[in-house]
Structures are given as structure tokens and as C-alpha cells.
Structure 1
Amino acid sequence: MVVKFPQHFTLKPRLALWTDGTIWENWSRHESFLRSMPKWKPHQIASVAEESLRIISKTTPIHRPEFQCRGLVVGYVQSGKTANFTAVAARAADVGYRLIIVLSGIHDSLRNQTQRRLDQELAGVGVDWITLTDEATDFQEPAVADGFALTGTVLIVAKKITPILKRLNQWLGRLEGRLADVPVLLIDDEADQASINTRGNRRDPSIDNETAPDDDTAPSLTNALIRDILRKAPRATYIAYTATPFANILIDPDAKDGQVGEDLFPKDFVVQLPRPDGYTGTEELFGISAQGRDVLRPVDPADVKALKSKQRRRSEAIVARGPLDLPQSLADALLTFALVGAIRLLRGQTGKPHTMLVHVSQLQQDQMRIGAAIKEQIRSWFHHEEAEPGVLRQMFLSTLAGLGTVELPASEENILKEAVNNLARLDVVVLNSTTGDELEYDLRPGRQLVAVGGNRLSRGLTLEGLTVAYFLRTTTLADALLQMARWYGFRAGYDDLIRIWTTEGIAQWFVELALVEESLRDSITALNKAGRRPDQMAIRMRAHSKLLLTSKNKSKMQADDARSWSGENPQTILFPLYDRDLLERNLDLASELLRRHPPTQEAYGGAIAHDVPVEDIALFLRRYEGHPNSIAFQSPEIADWILERAEAGELVNWTVFVANPERERQVLLGGRPFGLVRRSLQANESIGILIDPRHEGVDLHGGPDNYRATAGFSAMSMREDRPAQQGLLLLYPLDPEPLRSPTQAVLGVALSLPWTSDGGERFVVNRGLRNV
């Protein structure tokens, strides 16, 4: 039963320990609720059960008289983090936590959304919950502070802004002395936003008597208030949730403030949530899984210029512009949105939200101008239809041809007719503080919505049924870019209809972000497999070639690590596709290597040469010529590192694998034909991810089949099992036709490298942990 705060209460500790004897009453009720919901499948509920138990089991047992536990849970953008922390909260109540505070973003829309869900799925079905907030009301300090009259768990869902956090601190301050009986769980959603300390820490005057606390070196206010909430509770657990944890991993692990205590570094645990079934993320849209998908559409630089206001210098005012004629690329995206909405309706997906994202600029005047231009363009199209009946049908016929290979649910004529009708249904909303527009999915679930916005679309807010995105927002930060990509999520029944209009440069950023994300998740997996805490072993992150992982004031602890490729799979994703002479020289290099060491085995879709000397591998890499702008694959540096490891007795035995699919299109390498591998362009001169994950196991005992995982093959496990003496060079002769390259083949190169004794160092680490 959900009850409001009573006038008086008595704090009664509940002695439930998370042992085999724990009665999971709240979790069982929550689980039953999930089973009653048609959208939840049994295996998804089983995953939530397993992961929530794994997380609560990593926290400090609450029977200890004092503790400060810090943890981090890493999910995927728009991937069900709320479902996980709801289940964790249910289990936390069962093991004895008396106060659960959820900090849910910095906007009312996200807090209200989270409150509604927790009321429905947790407090509404659980045992003895006391809620101090509701969907319409953020936290207000109760008139009577001393008050858990029941023996249940108090739930607060609050915005992460300083006025609310000050109220929480003031209330807990009035409870001081009683909080020893109240284990506190603080769940911080979007924990890399606002929570990170971007300033300093005051000295502790009890330790350094000569130095008084200095407010000029105090932590940033939001960070200090969160730390102070935790400091006031003798038994407190803090769990940060985010899909972009770069800033959280780079918190100073030893930071303490003289007044508010230790910082929020996740010293006790980091948990990587599994990729959910049916999830569409960076890997699916820009990585190896994107091969064969027809997702990206280029936006001409002239269109970008037309849509954005110009500001020459920071000191200059932004020049207002007049009415906008909709650029062709945005008009094409709008027609595609109306068309794919018609296809969804004809597939039977009625009464469900359908959304188009238009994210061009953070400036409200740009957003208003673009929103007005979209509305005017729709009106203009229908005026044209009145003057010349059938013109819209012809426009949609061209749009349908440009949609590519999509399974159509009806005849072409019926689809075109429904597309015209659907164009008339489109609602255009501009989401910013000036307009006050809202998504209103609950009130109007079948809405065909064009959402134009900026910062409100940058984090947390879910765009339901998103298919078409027109995205030109640039940034210098990898975490911000990933959060802006609202096209991630679950797209059951219309995954094939996703289309993204963006510039080639932005698309290339996302291609590389697929590798950055993979590297981060691999490093978290390695940490947990090693049985180490985050304060005992540095989580290592691959640096992006163009973007900072997070802002400089959140990454003061970032340090470039000694360059090592231990446990890595460096691969070419960027090619000089139009330099024919260079590409031909690379093919000659491969031919020379294969003549000296001809393959002796055919397996796994390729040819394998065993026992190749390390010197020949290093020579090949040193002479291989990649794209001049490539950062991720620097073959001469890799060659030098391989020879250094060989001197230490590692990487002395090599296998060469040449992909050889059964295709009519072939190329001669080393005097024999090899089938050409098809990869498509994801951005200018980039193919996304090169390798087939199973190929990393072609030379291991039992082959790739020993490393099958739910989503395919576990390349990380292959590298972990690879002997330190054994390296693998993978060659991919790529078909030049889809790459629009004027050569007989484009040679892609990759390596699968074992963990070596130089520590498996990656590219970026927390400098406070680089020697642990």
C-alpha cells in the first residue's frame, strides 16, 4: 500500500540480511507485476531478476554498523536502466534498506516519468512502502521530520537540482542521531550529469590544523550535496546508473572533502548490464552489425549552413535569420517519416506512438524557425496537391524507391494512399522552455509526432517509436554525443525502418564510438572476471580520435597510458579508398607474405597459414599503408610493440588468416584466388567494423565454436584464452564495388592479440589507479 508521511513514527530496524534466508517479498510482487504485463517476456524478467540480484549482492551487507558503499551500473542508452534500478530497489527493501532515494535527472519530465513508474511497479504492489513524493510533487520536507511510523521503506524520487538536494540535506540533518537505524540506498540516474565534482576539495581542519576550510576549493554544489546526504547516513550505499560512465570512472578515487566526505568514485563495484534482447544501439547502427543495413543518409553542408544561426565569436550576438525554406534533405526525411509511419500502420502497429527527431541546434530561435518551416512545408505540399492532384503520390513514390529493401505490408498503391493520409496526421512540436510543448504519449498514444528540440532531447527523455532522425548537433564530447542519439532503444516490428540523416563527419564519429563502447565494456568485463574492485584495477578506455570522452572539468584524473595493444583487436576501419597506387601496394604486400607462407588449412570461411615468424608479421605491418587520418590503427607502432613483446618471449608464434568467402568476385593474392568480402560505407572512407568476431578464434583449441555467446561469439573470451606467445593476423580482401574504390580489392587488416605481461594497458586510465 502506498501511504503518505504520517505525523509521527518510530524507527524500527528490520534485520533482513541478503543471505539464503532472505525473503524476497517486494521483489516477488514486482516480478509478478512484470509477468502480468504483455510486453515483458519470461527471459527478460529472468534477466532482470539475475542482474538485480547480482547488483544487490555486491553491496555491503547492511548488518555492519557503519559503511559507505559506492557502485556503478553501466547500461546502454535508452535500454532499460530504469527497469533494473526498480528491481534493485525492490530487493534493497527486502534486505533491510529503510530509505531509498532516487535522483532522477534534472528535468521535471524525467522525474515525473520515473515517479509514475516506481509508483506503479514498486510501491503500488509492494509491502509497506511510504512515499514522500508523487507524480506532481517533488520532495518537500515533512512537517514532522521524525516519522517513519510504519516498519516499511520510505521512497523519494527527486530531481537532481540544488534546491531539492538542500531540502533533503536539511531533513536528514534533523534526523541525525536516528539514522544509525536507517540504512540508506541512493540511486543516481544519469549519474554522469551534474553529480561529478568539477571543482576541488577542502582540507580537513582536524587533520591539517594550520589550514582552515577554504570555500574557494569546495566541491561543486550538486556533488557536495549528494556527498553530504551520504555522509549523514552511517550506513549508506550509492549506486550510479549511466550509459556513458567515462566521467564516473575518472573520479579521483582518493578524493575527500573536509566537510562532505569522500567523493563518488565507484570503489566497490562496477556492473555492466547485458545487451538487452531486441536492443538497437551503436553496434547495430554503426558497427559490424550494421553491415547490410540501409540506415544512413548524408546531409549536404549547404543544408547544415541554412539551418543553423551563425555566431562568429563568443562575444558577438547570434544573428537572427528570417523564415526558412526547408532544405531538400530535411524535406526528404519528413516524407520518409510519413511513409514509414504508413507502413507501420499497415503492419497493424496502430495506437502506438511514432516519432521523428529533428535535433539541429541548441538555440531556441533555430528550433522555432525549423519547427515553423516544417509546418509550412506540410501546408505547402497539401496546397500543391489541391492545385495538382496526385503530386503527393508521385513524391511518395520516389520516397518509397529511396527507402531501399523493406518488407511491404500492402500493395504499393495502398501504401502511397496511406502515406498521404499520414502526412496530414503529423503533429510538429518544438520542445523547449519557451513553447511549453510536451510529447503527451500517455494522452495521445497514436500520435505521429515530429519532435524538434535541443537540450531537452539530449538526455533521459524517451522518444517513443522513433524511426527517422535528422541529427546535425555537434559536440566535442563522446558522452554527450551518445546521449543525444535518441534513436537507440527497442524497435520491435519496425527495426528495418530506422533512417538517420546526418553529416559524414558525425557518422564517422559514431562509427568510432562503436569501438570506444566495445573497449569500455570489455575492460569492465575483465575487471569483474579478475575478481578485482575498481579501486584495485584501473578500467581502461579507448580514446576517440576526434572527441574527448567527457568534458575537461570532469576528467582531471585522465591520463594517457603507455601505448599497448595487450588484449586488443586493432583493425582498419578507415581507408584511402581513392588512392589506387597505395591500395595496390598493400595487395602486393599481402601477396608477398602469402607466397612466403602459403595457407595450409581451409576453415571458418578462410585460409590459414600457421607458424609465421614474428619478424615477417612486423615487416608486413611496418610496410602496410593505412589512411593518413587513422588513429585507431597505427601499424608501424603496433609492429614496434610486437617486436618489444617478442624480446620478452611473447607474441613469437603467429597465424595468418585470410577471409575467403565463396563469391564469384575474387582477387589473386600469393598466386591463388580469394573471394572478396563485402563491407559497406558507413561514412566517408569508413566501413564501420571490419572483422567477423568468430575469426578471432580460428587458431584456438576447438575453434570459434568454443566461444559462442547469446549474441554470437565472444571475441573478448577468445583474446583472454589466447596464449601470450600466440598472435593472429587477419586479412580481409574487400570488394571495392560497394566502397566505390578504383582498384581490384581493398586490403583490410586486423589482429587478435593476447593479454601480455605489460599489463593490458589501454589508451586512457584514471591516473589515481594506473599503478594498482
Structure 2
Amino acid sequence: MADEFDDMYETFKAILDAFPPTEAVKRLELMGVREDVIQRIRDLHEQQTIRIKELEEPHAVVLGNRDTWYTGPQPKDKCWPAIEELLVKDGWSRETAIRNLDDSSTRVVSLLNHPKEKSFSTRGLVVGYVQSGKTTNFTSVMAKAADRGYKLFIVLAGIHNGLRRQTQARLVQQLVEPNPSMWSQLTDLDKDFTPTANPASYFGNSNKTHVLCVVKKNATVLRKLAVWLDQAADYLKDCPALIIDDEADQATVATKSINPLILSMMKSLPRSAYVGYTASPFANLLIDPSAEDLYPRDFVVNLPKPEGHFGTEVLFGRYALDGEDPDQVDDGHDMIRSVPDDDIPCVRPETKEDVEGFEPVITDTLRRAVEYFWLVTAARRVRRTGNPHNTMLIHTSVNTAVHNSFERPLQRLLNRTAETLTDITFLSRLRDLWSQETARVPAQDFGETKVPFDDLVRELPGVLRSCRIIMDNSSSEARLDYENGPIVAIAVGGNTLSRGLTLEGLSVSYFVRAVSAYDTLLQMGRWFGFRNGYADLPRIWMTDELAAWFRHLATVETEMRRDIDIYITESETPLTFAVRLRTHPALRVTAAAKMRDAVTAASSYGGKRVQTHYFHTNADWLSGNATAAKDLVAAALSNAVRVEDRSAEERFVFRGVPYDVVTDFLASYKFHEKSPENDADLISGYIRKRVAAGSLRRWNVAIVGSSAGRPFEFVPGVSVGRNLRSRVATTTPTPDFADIKTLMSRRDAAVDLAGDTVKLTEKGIIDERRVQLPDTGLLVLYPIDKTSEPDAGKKLRAPLNAEQDVIGVGLVFPEPQHGDSTVEKYISANLSGVRLEVEDFSLLEGEDA
């Protein structure tokens, strides 16, 4: 009876996927299903569906009723329970980690089509984090799809043999070996796809096994697979297929060979679902949705960030988004070490002509990074916890000749270190290095215990003996091989180490590779991932510019995921709302070819807060801004409807200042060129458009100071104490540059509001402005002390040390009341060519067509 009920339940879900519930019930009645059984099916289905819809994570984009057919594992399943048991043996918690994986993979499967539908061609996208367990997620999705009847599984595993082998090994271990009689394989560890003579042996009615094929995105390989599938067309009509595209933004989008071959394969599979997995989905989100391509038109899923994962934001911090309290946004951990610009020519050729004969120099920063890696490896041997492998990554160039040139100097450094381990001066230097690093990142902050140097030094001889220098690139035979026991390796490489491939036990990175796009930059961050047992020890050496780019990228990632959440909160779909991607003045979002169909997305300043956090520190630049601020205060004093002298609070408010006083100030005040959100021309243009619409004609201009600072006079009778704003600390500060990260507090954004504003949230301030000042903007001036020593204990901060006092600016824009005017800061997919059809259910109600 239970099996009969399960079958009816599955039938009901399949019908519901195609018809509204009432029509599905009618069809079951016509099939002769008893009323009480139908009611049981409906009750169970409603309970399961509510659970899926109410999953807090992952948030998903859902088209129509696509989330109703799969509601989780069933007792008769074989593939998913096998994965569960393997993960339990690996130490995963059933209550947290496995439950989260179960929920997130269930959510993805629920968005696929039912495998018994006559035809379907699903296109979806799953957005994860770099090195966050995406492979485990799509393996779980494959297992659950197999348990429900999907037969053919094609995994596109990057473009390199290393990642393909790693993926094949993982899928065999977790899918095939626990249930060997249920699977057939078209590929193995050592062999990419090779056509077989008889497709019927895999897809004929007599073969009930699932078919696994793991291929790399190589034109020759995919062409053979596409031809073979086309020849097997007669057998594939009733074969539900799931295509998993790992690293879906790489080679898949806007390529002349790979992209058409993937589409060709899908045409041979009348019942197929394509799901891309990537941590850098920028290219995928910019595909032309109106073209016959791989735009994720059916769903986009944000995977939850796993507990203990080291991501962009954790390491580099990010900037506050609209609606966030900047004081609550973390600066990140103190794990980034600065490589001075003068070191770059020593570790990377400046031009292509310099590649031949290039000899790298072991600079002080590179030597320090390598020595710290050996200390970390020794400390981990003392702790005896976590991943058994220890890896350091050196990535300075894409050129294989440059990689290979590092072998001799690194080997010399290794040999020389082994010979001088008994030297007291050398050991003293290592002791100082260990003391400095462990003081900057206390072990107890991560639940670990600091390893004493004397315990660590006893392990160093063994560490140096086992350390290998490996050139891992397309021209070398050596590879990072984690399958034959624990390794200690310094890996020098490029693209073969920059995507998908997990660098086991990675603790130290030296990264100065020049990049020009978000996705390239993000995917090179092999230092992201899990660091169980040594979360206090990872370090990254890179230039300050690269660190700033990663901080911007962390902001882009967070904002992108927030946009994806709009699909849930506002009932949008990928065909009605395009995810916006914030641009950067020095970086492309992705390769130019992948952005050719993108459009500039309008983004409004309405209801937002803009503030300066980048500054030059030279006297001429600062002097000009001080003059602009003093001129603004003088004009505000002359033109304000009312002046509020709140000098006892170190504040002044000039109410009802004409908008042209503000735009004149914006024309003379200089924002730092690295601040994409602070574009004076865009802001002024936005103000003028709002003025034309009847808003923002009047502004409140405020001055906010601090009682702890020395007086700063704008004009006679108007002075406040200077504010203290220290800069983000770097090992080697960039000349003439400071990043203070946060300028404007939540309280300051309410400086011109009446009543008790102390406890107002960000949203509360916006709501209160809508009531009190619906058409009035706010501009706040901050005089900042040129020295600005940081508070004691703030290890990630350093004195501002500008040549003159700095003027910071914050602007708060009211939400539009008379229609909005937009500014261009983002790009997105172009939805103008999308034609949406509205389903007509009139025939189902018995009406005439």
C-alpha cells in the first residue's frame, strides 16, 4: 500500500507541474483515484511544499510552479543516503552541516522539471562561494535527481585535466562506489570521453543504470560527445538528462567553439536540465536572455555561505551597502600583507619582451612569506589537527616560463635555510616573525591555542626536508598530488591553479598577478575556503591596489546576492528582473566579449546615502577641498532659511539651502578618482533631474564635529572640533592615499530630523525622512584631523597622517516622491528582447477558445 501511495503521490506532483491544483485533482478523479487517497496526497504535498518554500537558505528564483514536484528524499532512495553516510564518516554533523546541504540541494532539485515530462529544457544557475563546497552540492543534486529518475548525468568539469580528474574521483567515490550496480561510466580517472560503439548498451530499455560522463570543456572532447549523442538520438527520447556545468562562467559564455557544442548536446536531449555552478556568475548573468543561449531563464539560486568559510568579505572586509549601519560592517581579519610596488619588477616581467631570460629576485616580502609558510607548517604539525597537507601558492604571472624561472631561486632559499637552522641570528629573526604574526592575529580569536616558538622550531628540520618546490602549469609534468600521503609544497603556477582545483591545506599565498576583470580576480583567490584547525594562520601577500580591488569585489558580491534575493521578496523572475552588477573604474566586470549584450542598468540615488572614504593626503588636494567646504558654508549661511547653532553638540545645521549652492560645491570639491560611487557629475546630474521633477530644490547642509578634536573654523562664528578618522592599515602604505572605510554614522544621517533619533534604525531614518523631509536632501561636512591616531587595540587601523586636515562629505537623498531620475553605475542583462507569454487557463474551465 505504501508503494502504491508513493506512486500516486509522484503522479500527482508530475500533473501539478503542468496544471493548476484543481485541474490536477480532476485528472486524478478521471483516473479512478479514490477521494480519500487524493486528499491524503494533497495534504502530504502541501506539507512538503510549505517546508521547501519556507527554507531560509538558499534563496531562489522560481518560475511558475517549478518548485512543487520534488519535496525531499524518500525512504526508498539509494544515492542520497549513501552520500549522507560518507559525509558522517568524514565528520559532518547531521544536525547542521548535512541538514543545510540536504536543504540547499533539495531546493535546487525542486526547480528542475519532473523527469517523466515528455520534453523540457531547463536553464538554471547556482551561485556559490569560491572553495565553498559547490562540488558537494552538485553531487548531492545529482544523487537526488538520480533517485527520482534522471538517467544521464553530464558534468562539464572546467577546462583543465586536473580539475576533471578531481571531479571524476569525487563523483565515483560518492555516487558510483556506494551503489556500483546502479551506475555506468562513460569516462574514468585517466580517460576523458571516448565514443563507444553501442549507445543502446547505455540507453536501451534493458539498461536501468544511471550513466555518468565527466568531461572537460575542450572543443575536441565536446565535439565527440555531441556527435555521439546525436547518433544516439533514438535512444535519448525517453532519457531525462542533467547537465552540470562546473565553473559555468569559464569557456561556456560567448565562445565560438564550446558554447555552440553545449547547445548542440542539449538539442540531442529532448528532456534535459542545464544547471551552471559558479562563484563568479557575472558573465552568466549578462547573457542575452532573448537568444537561444544559456541565460538562467528558469531559476537562480544563492547557496548559503557555509559555517567557517573564508570568503572575500572575511579576509578583505567590504563597504556598507544602502540600509546598512557602516559601524556594523567588518573590516575583515588582519591577514593581508602588503607587497610594495617596487617589488613587482623583481617577481614579474614588466613587458612581454622581458619574459625571455627573466630571473626573479627573492625580495624581502617573498622571503618573509616563504619563511612564514614553513613556520605555519611546523605549527600545524605541533597541533596535529585539520587537513594533513600544507601548501603555499606563488602566483605572479600567467606565463609558464616565468613560473619555471622561480624553481632555482626558491630551491636555493630552501637549501640555504636548511643549512642555517642552527644559526642563532637566523632563528632570532624567525622568532620575531612568528611573534609579530601571532600578535596581529591572536589564535584565541579562532578558538585555537598559540604554538610556542620553541615547540615549533623542533619541527622545522622535518618541514624543510619534506618541502617540495612544484611548478604546476600547462608546460610542466609536475603536479600537486594529494593522493599519495601528506605533502608540503610551494606551488608556483598560473591558470592551472586558478579555478576549481582545491589547493589542500593552503595557508600562505603570494599574489601579484595583474588582472583586469572581476571573475578572473575572484577565481584566482585560491586562499578562500575552509581552514579547520588553522583558521588563525593563513596570510596573503599582495599589493595594496589588489587588496582594495578585493574589498570592492566583496561589496559587489554582497550586492549581487541581495539583488538575487529580490526574486523571492518581490516575486520577480530572471526574465522580468536582471541582476545588476556594480562597475569599477579600473576593472571590467568580465571579458568584453561576455558583456557585448549587456546594458547599462539605471540605479537611483533615491533613498540612499553616499559618503567619502578614499582621500589623497597631499596638501594641494586637501587645501582645495577645504576651500570648497568653506565657500559652501559661507553660501549656506547667506542663503539658508534658518540656521541652527548647535555648537554645544559640535554641530551646525543650515536649513533650506538652494540646490545650486550644493551643485556649485560639487563642482569644486574633488572626490578621489578610485571612488566609483562618488562621481560629482553623476550626483549633480541626478540632483538637477530631481529638481526638474519638483524635488530636491532645497537642501539642509550640516557640519558635524567632535568635542575631542581641535577646533576647525569654516567661517567666523562657525567652528567645530575636528573628527578622528584613522586609515585602514597596510604594511607599506600607498603614498598619497588613505582609506578610512567609514565616515558617516547612522546618527549623522538623522542630524536634521526632529525628535529622538538616537534609536532609529537605517530603515527608520529613511521612513522618518519620508515623513519630515520628503523633498529635502542632506549634505554633511566633516573636518577630519590630519593625524587621527586610531584607538588603542584597533590593529587594522593606522594614523591618517595627511599633510593637511581632510574634509569628508556625506550626502543623504530622500526617496523620490514625484518619479525618479537615475544615474548609471551598473550593468545587467538586456531584457528588452524577452517576450513573456501569459498562460490562458480558459480551456481548462470549459470555455470556448
Smaller-chain TM-score bracket? 0.7 to 0.9
Which one of the candidate residues 471, 487, 490 is aligned to 2:511? 471
Map of 1:629-668 to 2, 5 A cutoff?
A: 629-645=674-690, 647-648=692-693
Output the CA distance in 2 between the equivalents of 1:350 and 1:20: 36
Q: Deviations over 1:584-622 (max 9, x none)?
A: 4577589888994577999xxx99989987848767656
Change (3 A) 1:271 1:658: farther
Q: Does 1:414 align with 2:414?
A: no
SS at match of 2:273: strand
Output the CA distance in 1 between the equivalents of 2:103 and 2:658: 44
Which one of the candidate residues 690, 712, 724 is aligned to 2:742? 690
Given that residues 307 and 360 in structure 1 are in contact (C-alpha distance below 8 angstroms), is that contact kept between their aligned partners in structure 2?
yes
Q: Could you tell me how far 1:623 is from its partner in structure 2?
A: 5.6
Aligned to 2:295: 265
Q: Could you tell me how far 1:571 is from its partner in structure 2?
A: 3.9
Aligned to 2:195: 141
SS at match of 2:507: strand
Q: Does 1:229 align with 2:274?
A: no
SS at match of 2:366: helix
Change (3 A) 1:351 1:637: closer
SS at match of 1:103: strand
Given that residues 158 and 500 in structure 2 are in contact (C-alpha distance below 8 angstroms), is that contact kept between their aligned partners in structure 1?
yes
Given that residues 154 and 215 in structure 2 are in contact (C-alpha distance below 8 angstroms), is that contact kept between their aligned partners in structure 1?
yes
Aligned to 1:398: 432
Q: Deviations over 1:142-183 (max 9, x none)?
A: 332113444343222221212321232233223213323112
Q: Does 1:764 align with 2:839?
A: no
Output the CA distance in 1 between the equivalents of 2:631 and 2:99: 51
Q: Does 1:741 align with 2:786?
A: no
Aligned to 1:104: 157
Q: Could you tell me how far 1:729 is from its partner in structure 2?
A: 6.4
Aligned to 2:363: 327
Q: Deviations over 1:219-265 (max 9, x none)?
A: x121111101111111211111111122112222222xxxxxx2111
Output the CA distance in 1 between the equivalents of 2:117 and 2:776: 47
Given that residues 392 and 506 in structure 2 are in contact (C-alpha distance below 8 angstroms), is that contact kept between their aligned partners in structure 1?
yes
Q: Does 1:505 align with 2:550?
A: no
Output the CA distance in 2 between the equivalents of 1:68 and 1:335: 53
Map of 1:144-543 to 2, 5 A cutoff?
A: 144-146=198-200, 147-148=202-203, 149-198=206-255, 220-255=256-291, 262-288=292-318, 291=331, 293-309=333-349, 311=351, 318-321=355-358, 324-349=360-385, 352-385=388-421, 389-403=423-437, 404-407=439-442, 409-419=450-460, 422-445=463-486, 447-543=487-583
Q: Could you tell me how far 1:578 is from its partner in structure 2?
A: 2.7
Output the CA distance in 1 between the equivalents of 2:530 and 2:759: 29
Q: Does 1:680 align with 2:728?
A: yes
Q: Could you tell me how far 1:113 is from its partner in structure 2?
A: 1.4
Q: Deviations over 1:728-756 (max 9, x none)?
A: 76777767332332345562636577587
SS at match of 1:497: coil
Q: Does 1:19 align with 2:69?
A: yes
Letter in 2 for 1:631: P
SS at match of 2:265: helix
Change (3 A) 1:128 1:634: same
Q: Could you tell me how far 1:22 is from its partner in structure 2?
A: 6.4
Change (3 A) 1:290 1:586: farther
Output the CA distance in 1 between the equivalents of 2:597 and 2:240: 31
Q: Deviations over 1:684-716 (max 9, x none)?
A: 325274379978997999999998xxxxxxx89
Aligned to 1:82: 135
SS at match of 2:132: coil
Change (3 A) 1:297 1:410: closer
Letter in 1 for 2:623: D
Structure 1: gaps of 5 or more residues? 1-13, 199-219, 256-261, 708-714
Q: Could you tell me how far 1:465 is from its partner in structure 2?
A: 2.4
Given that residues 75 and 241 in structure 1 are in contact (C-alpha distance below 8 angstroms), is that contact kept between their aligned partners in structure 2?
yes
Letter in 2 for 1:19: W
SS at match of 2:554: helix
Letter in 1 for 2:357: A
Given that residues 682 and 823 in structure 2 are in contact (C-alpha distance below 8 angstroms), is that contact kept between their aligned partners in structure 1?
no
Output the CA distance in 2 between the equivalents of 1:557 and 1:720: 37
Q: Deviations over 1:641-691 (max 9, x none)?
A: 145235546678989999999x96687697555763444146732527437
Aligned to 1:217: none
Q: Deviations over 1:427-457 (max 9, x none)?
A: 2211123332222223233x33211111211
Range moving further from structure 2, 97-106 or 124-133:
124-133
Letter in 1 for 2:241: V
Output the CA distance in 1 between the equivalents of 2:692 and 2:136: 50
Q: Could you tell me how far 1:33 is from its partner in structure 2?
A: 3.6
Output the CA distance in 2 between the equivalents of 1:111 and 1:679: 44
Output the CA distance in 2 between the equivalents of 1:88 and 1:703: 49
Rg comparison, structure with higher value: 2
Aligned to 1:130: 184
Given that residues 778 and 813 in structure 2 are in contact (C-alpha distance below 8 angstroms), is that contact kept between their aligned partners in structure 1?
yes
Q: Could you tell me how far 1:573 is from its partner in structure 2?
A: 3.6
Letter in 1 for 2:455: N
Output the CA distance in 1 between the equivalents of 2:782 and 2:69: 52
Output the CA distance in 2 between the equivalents of 1:578 and 1:463: 42
Change (3 A) 1:720 1:86: farther
Given that residues 35 and 42 in structure 1 are in contact (C-alpha distance below 8 angstroms), is that contact kept between their aligned partners in structure 2?
no
Change (3 A) 1:597 1:241: farther
Change (3 A) 1:619 1:628: same
SS at match of 1:157: strand
Output the CA distance in 1 between the equivalents of 2:782 and 2:465: 49
Change (3 A) 1:612 1:623: farther
Given that residues 287 and 688 in structure 1 are in contact (C-alpha distance below 8 angstroms), is that contact kept between their aligned partners in structure 2?
no
Output the CA distance in 2 between the equivalents of 1:589 and 1:676: 23
Q: Could you tell me how far 1:483 is from its partner in structure 2?
A: 1.0
Q: Could you tell me how far 1:474 is from its partner in structure 2?
A: 0.6
Output the CA distance in 2 between the equivalents of 1:770 and 1:655: 43
Output the CA distance in 1 between the equivalents of 2:104 and 2:236: 29
Given that residues 69 and 114 in structure 2 are in contact (C-alpha distance below 8 angstroms), is that contact kept between their aligned partners in structure 1?
no
Q: Deviations over 1:5-26 (max 9, x none)?
A: xxxxxxxxx9684537765324
Structure 2: gaps of 5 or more residues? 1-9, 15-67, 319-328, 444-449, 790-797, 836-849
Count of aligned residue pairs for this structure pair = 714
Output the CA distance in 1 between the equivalents of 2:766 and 2:178: 45
Q: Could you tell me how far 1:371 is from its partner in structure 2?
A: 2.2
Q: Could you tell me how far 1:74 is from its partner in structure 2?
A: 1.5
Q: Deviations over 1:399-453 (max 9, x none)?
A: 23542423362434434554566445432211123332222223233x3321111
How many percent identity over aligned positions?
32
Range moving further from structure 2, 29-38 or 19-28:
19-28
SS at match of 1:186: strand
Output the CA distance in 2 between the equivalents of 1:549 and 1:28: 40
RMSD (CA atoms):
4.2
SS at match of 1:482: helix
Given that residues 248 and 277 in structure 2 are in contact (C-alpha distance below 8 angstroms), is that contact kept between their aligned partners in structure 1?
yes
